[in-house]
């Protein structure tokens, strides 16, 4: 009879049954699904590349032999490196789709009024450049479920400037029906807005100088309304103040209907409102301000607008910060682009799994606990408390 941890780990193998094996059939000793399970487990426990994965597997030899078949023993770190550099990232991520759907259904809010939000943003792996091959840092565009705290997908590009072309390709892989998609200024493009609307979603897109006339016109019009104290328009306003660690931050949110006079408004699919978010931070008697403008397909409702604006920051504060501080992603020196893409995806998925476990401990501490305790690791792999 299988133990709970054996059942949990074996159930993970099922997600990799359809993953195409890129290896030659000659001298193929290790099962592809088991290699993938070891990779996920090792990254959860602190490994950051093929060599570390191999060393972790050797240190956990006895436990792995209990939960996996391992017909030819523990693979070497070279084997992990070759497989991660050969598996196509798109096919690899596809294996996680069913797992992600299962996590979303388990951990989604039961409240029918809860907002389903997908935040999309890019991040560079700063030390992944390869001067010999004249390659800059690998740049990844990620989609993050704000509600569930799970990575939904990612797409790698060679340059940050390619983010504009990567976002539509990433959106094609996502289910946006009924979701609000939030994207920073790089994704504030007419065809991206149209793609989201065609997919049955709504958008809130940050607007900056990259959009030329519409940004200038929006800013000018909003400032004119502010000067009149919004007496000539229907404006929804919200103010929120937070105090913490000697710092006071005040947020002002304003949402306005799109004026008829706004140039090019008809080119933006279902554009209904303009949003403004002002952040005022006072710390050590020093004041800083940040003002951002947004184009949205949402109707007036400043509470929801404020929630999705704050929710978008989750991809920066929850995902990217955790990748840099806990997973040390910026220190990764993986030169192979495919291996770098696949390991980066494992790290993002690991954060989602660690967030699902009911615990008061930080993500960093949960990661250590997974490395110390095989029962806790099996619980994390199961995606829910046992």
pLDDT number for residue 3? 57
How does pLDDT run across 168-214, given as a tens digit for each residue? 999 999 999 999 999 988 889 999 999 999 999 999 999 987 677 88
Reported as a pLDDT band with limits 50, 70 and 90, residue 1 is: very low
Phi-psi region of 5 (alpha: psi -120 to 50; beta: other; left: phi over 0): alpha
How does pLDDT run across 28-50, given as a tens digit for each residue? 899 999 999 999 999 999 999 99
Q: Is 230 helix (H, G, I), strand (E, B) or coil?
A: coil
Reported as a pLDDT band with limits 50, 70 and 90, residue 161 is: low
Please report the domains of the chain, with CATH numbers, ordered by start residue. Answer: 4-98+358-382 (no CATH), 100-325 (3.90.350)
β-sheet bridge partners, residue 281:
249, 288
Mean pLDDT to the nearest integer, 341-355 = 92
Query: Rounded distance, CA 150 to CA 250, Å?
Result: 28
Query: Rounded distance, CA 282 to CA 342, Å?
Result: 41
How does pLDDT run across 252-297, given as a tens digit for each residue? 999 999 998 888 899 999 999 999 999 999 888 888 999 999 999 9
Q: Which residue has 């046992």 as its token pair?
A: 386
pLDDT number for residue 82? 94
Percent with pLDDT over 70 in the chain: 91
pLDDT number for residue 109? 64
Res 149 pLDDT > 90 = no
Reported as a pLDDT band with limits 50, 70 and 90, residue 372 is: very high
Res 51 pLDDT > 70 = yes
pTM, to two decimals? 0.88
pLDDT number for residue 130? 67
């Amino acid at each position: 009879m299988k133990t709970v941890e054996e059942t949990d780990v074996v159930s993970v193998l099922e997600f990799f049954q359809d993953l195409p094996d890129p290896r030659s059939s000659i001298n193929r000793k290790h099962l592809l699904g088991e290699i993938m399970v070891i990779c996920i487990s090792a990254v959860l426990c602190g490994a950051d590349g093929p060599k570390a994965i191999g060393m972790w597997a050797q240190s956990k030899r006895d436990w792995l032999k209990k939960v996996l078949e391992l017909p030819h023993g523990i693979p070497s770190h070279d084997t992990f490196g070759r497989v991660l550099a050969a598996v196509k990232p798109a096919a690899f991520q596809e294996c996680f789709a069913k797992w992600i759907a299962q996590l979303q259904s388990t951990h989604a809010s039961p409240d029918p009024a809860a907002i389903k939000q997908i935040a999309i943003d890019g991040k560079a792996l700063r030390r992944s450049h390869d001067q010999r091959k004249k390659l800059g840092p690998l740049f990844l565009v990620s989609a993050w479920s704000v509600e569930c705290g799970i990575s939904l997908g990612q797409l790698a590009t060679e340059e940050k400037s390619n983010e504009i072309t990567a976002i539509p390709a990433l959106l094609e892989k996502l289910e946006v029906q009924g979701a609000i998609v939030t994207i920073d200024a790089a994704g504030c493009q007419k065809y991206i807005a149209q793609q989201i609307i065609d997919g049955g979603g709504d958008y809130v897109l940050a607007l900056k100088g990259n959009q030329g006339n519409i940004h200038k016109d929006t800013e000018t019009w909003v400032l004119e309304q502010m000067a009149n104290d919004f007496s000539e328009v229907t404006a929804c306003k919200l103010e929120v103040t937070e105090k913490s660690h000697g710092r006071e931050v005040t947020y002002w949110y304003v949402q306005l209907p799109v004026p008829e006079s706004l140039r090019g408004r008809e080119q933006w699919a279902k554009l209904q409102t303009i949003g403004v978010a002002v952040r005022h931070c006072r710390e050590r008697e020093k004041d800083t301000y940040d003002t951002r403008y947004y184009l949205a397909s949402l109707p007036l409702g400043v509470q929801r607008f404020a929630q999705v604006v704050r929710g978008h920051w989750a991809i920066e504060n929850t995902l990217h910060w955790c990748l840099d501080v806990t997973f040390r992603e910026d220190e990764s020196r993986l030169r192979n682009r495919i291996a770098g893409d696949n390991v980066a995806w494992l790290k993002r998925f690991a954060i989602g799994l660690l967030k699902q476990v009911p615990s008061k401990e930080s993500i960093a501490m949960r990661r250590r606990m997974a490395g110390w305790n095989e029962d806790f690791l099996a619980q994390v792999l199961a995606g829910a408390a046992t």
